[in-house]
Structure 1
Amino acid sequence: MPRQSVDASSTADGLDTLNIAALIYRIDEDVPLLVDANETARRLLSIGDSFPTADPWHWLDARRCPATGARHPAMLEDDSHASPQWQYFHLRQSRKPLRAVKLKISPLDVPADGDHRRHVLIAVGEITEADSDATPSLLPQAEPQLHQMLGNLPMGVCVIDVEGYLRLVNRAFCRFFGYTESELLNAHFRKLLPEQHRPAADQYHAASFPDALNQRRAVEVLLRDGSTRTVIIEDTINHDDLGRPQHIAFLVDITERRNLERRLEQKNRRLEYLATRDDLTGLHNRRFGLELLEQTLERSQRYGEKVSVAMLDLDYFKEINDQYGHPVGDTILTDFSRLVVELLRASDTFIRWGGEEFLMILPGIDRFAAQTTLNRLIEQLHDHPLSPYDLRISFSAGVGEHHHQTSKGLLEEIDQALYQAKSAGRGCVAIAPICVSRPGQCCNQAFSSL
């Protein structure tokens, strides 16, 4: 706006008639000095008669830097042609409570004494003392009726402006986070969030103006004591007395409910695991293995893909249990399962069928390639003693290839092949032939052993 060529003292004294406190600052090398104040300002702010002087208080910009201080308001006047706007600051005097003040800042020219340094007139519109136990808010821009309506609600409520600063907090909100009202007002909402969530929250807040309505989301928040809670936030957009949009947010603590949900999810995952997995080895169990076999054979039938299936049985496993005990036998089963899974392809499936029997589903290969895979496993097993007793074990296996049989028919074929492998001396692999006649009329068995 254009500078005013008036007598500064007269201007300040004139504001006394309106009961408006007025301060006049001179800017000396970018340092503001208080050079005059009218009677209203001297009474409200306890200013003496000695001028010029440095400020007897400390200014805190309520919007830009609520925690650490900001530029002096006298340094914020501009030369635009727009009318000066009311701005909001906190003012802290020694041994006095924090105050909230509404200011209008205007540039002045003071030519009377030939001093052409820059002068600034600050008119103080309102002064509100901050009392953390009192009902009124620190901020005059928080509408009294809104504060009264929200103040006694049992749920936490806050008002957040476009820049993300808290403009109103009710008692329940303060109790929940563990802060006093004066510690939260004019703080940025980031203060109440774990650090890792702050960037995303900033983006959400910026995108939520001006048209977002009735937003509902779960948010993790940070309490004063360092603990975290989970809250449901429901917020909407309101406008203050100057028409600026602001969030009104309602918080409901759902931490216990969320923890209960997590425990239920964990139990459900555990139940699902137990329903599909063998508790000892971690492999798929027989019931779920049958489902996987049906799905694999159906896919083979639909797309014409090869798939081989093998049944494995650990040799002389009963003797191991009898001689070393069942705990050692369990260790053998666990170590064997882990070794086989490491050697198979990701597309292969290894299933604990029961006891010391295992089923292997090998998609994409015929029965001869499957036989080669099993022979390689027998060789690897020979070079890897199992259990603390370094026992060398072997297995017998029967292998079959899917060729329009049902799953039951295929399992019968590989079971017969397994029987042939055991009869041949164990530690070998028998291949079930592909029957081209009636089911059950199978011909010669093919064997291999090491």
Structure 2
Amino acid sequence: MPQRSTSPPHFSDAALMTLIRSTPLAICITDAEGHFQMVNAAYCRLYGYAEEELLGEEFTMMLAPEHRDMMRRIHRTFIETGEDSDPLIGTPGARAEWEVVNRQGQPISVLAEAVRVEDDQGNVYKATFVVDISEHKALERSLREANQRLTKIAMYDELTGLQSRRAGLDRLEAEIHEHQRYGQPLCIAVIDLDGFKQINDTHGHAIGDEILVGIAELLRQSLRESDAAVRLGGDELLLVLPGISLDQATQAVERIRQTLASTSLTSHALEVTLSAGVAAYRDENQDALLERADRALYRAKRRGRNRVAQAR
């Protein structure tokens, strides 16, 4: 096949300037002192100024006042060496994201890239190419906030603020690994509210929710920072109690039981009690530990409720 010509087109200076002025990419040229010498229509639209309002003005007018001195220093170094001295800018010719302001004082996120150019008389200029990425940054923020909300939903029960079942069981598994590695004591308590279904049937689920919220607050006030309170589902709760013996854990849960029994909850001043089963970890898997605590809980229920039983 015949070779195609690869020689570049020959444009006059006037034609190149027309191209720069008409391109949809925002472009400005500043002199060695940082004053605008040329701004194209896209640059003016981006910032909301007319061309005559910008020419001769310092480029730092587009920045928040607290950033202007830093940008002046960066500009001087760039003009003298072609390099950016500030780590926020990066390597020469590298793209950098900036927060700037338009004529109305509204923030705009831009992606900017600058090149150092000289004219025929040896005068040095800085040509900057700017892209508005505000929508992209806003989308990034929205996605980040959504991920944070999803993470919170996954980690914490929406009603009570206690750890969710998934997060709580992950925490228990982590504590089991800590026990296996360092040998520190580990206990758990499985708690169930006495007659909670009857409360819901009699007073409604809204009152039931108030009770769960109140108990969650009681647990937060009663437990240590190293403990974890988990809502497994419904009115079933799990306490993860590292670093204490079975007797100490039983005493801690007993204090919670006594406090709840003497506390009136909701606007109906309802008296609510709990039953609990407490188990100490003994070289078993998570399911086996939870099952022993559950058996102790049901033993407490059979013995009349409103009591704490130790697992065998």
Pick the TM interval, shorter chain.
0.7 to 0.9
Q: What SS does structure 1 have at the residue aligned with 2:271?
A: coil
Distance 1:208 1:285, change over 3 A: farther
Amino acid at match of 1:399: V
> Which structure has the larger Rg?
1
Distance 1:337 1:150, change over 3 A: same
Gaps of 5+ in 1: 1-142, 433-441, 443-450
TM-score by length of 2: 0.82
Alignment of 1:275-294 (within 5 A): 275-294=154-173
- Cα distance in 2 for residues equivalent to 1:323 and 1:296: 39
Shift in alpha-carbon separation, 1:389–1:150, aligned structure 2, 3 A: same
Distance 2:107 2:132 in 1: 11
The aligned residue for residue 61 of structure 2 is 191
Q: Name the counterpart of 1:153.
A: 23
Relative distance call for 1:322 and 1:172 in structure 2 (3 A) is same
Shifted more, 219-228 versus 351-360: the winner is: 219-228
Indicate the RMSD between aligned Cα atoms, in angstroms. 2.7
2:175 is the alignment partner of 1:175: no
Deviation at 1:175, TM superposition (A): 1.6
Matched, 1:274 2:153: yes
Q: Deviations over 1:388-415 (max 9, x none)?
A: 2232322221111222111111111111
**Structure number with higher strand proportion:** 1
Report deviation, 1:365: 1.8
User: Taking CA–CA contacts closer than 8 Å with sequence separation of 6 or more, which of the two structures ends up with the larger relative contact order?
Assistant: 2
Q: 1:400 to 1:238 in 2, by over 3 A?
A: farther
- Correspondences of 1:211-290 after superposition (within 5 Å): 211-212=83-84, 213-239=92-118, 243=122, 245-290=124-169
Distance 1:343 1:163, change over 3 A: farther
The structure whose residues are more often helix, as a share, is: 2
Deviation string 1:63-120 (CA, Å, 9 cap, x unpaired) is: xxxxxxxxxxxxxxxxxxxxxxxxxxxxxxxxxxxxxxxxxxxxxxxxxxxxxxxxxx
Aligned length: 291
Deviations 1:183-242 (A, max 9, x none): 112323332123455466556556656224212122222111232222111223334556
Q: CA deviation at 1:264?
A: 2.5
> What TM-score do the two structures reach when normalised by structure 1?
0.59
Q: Is the 8 A contact 1:215 1:236 kept in 2?
A: no
Cross-structure match for 1:323:
202
- In the alignment, the residues of structure 2 paired with residue 239 and residue 390 of structure 1 have an alpha-carbon distance, to the nearest angstrom, of 83
Shift of 1:425: 2.8
Q: 1:377 to 1:146 in 2, by over 3 A?
A: farther
Q: Flag as ranges the 4+ runs of structure 1 deviating above 6 A.
A: 143-146
C-alpha separation between the residues in 2 aligned to 1:383 and 1:240? 87
Match of 1:339 in 2: 218
**Amino acid in structure 2 at the alignment position of 1:167:** Q
Name 1:425's counterpart in structure 2: 304
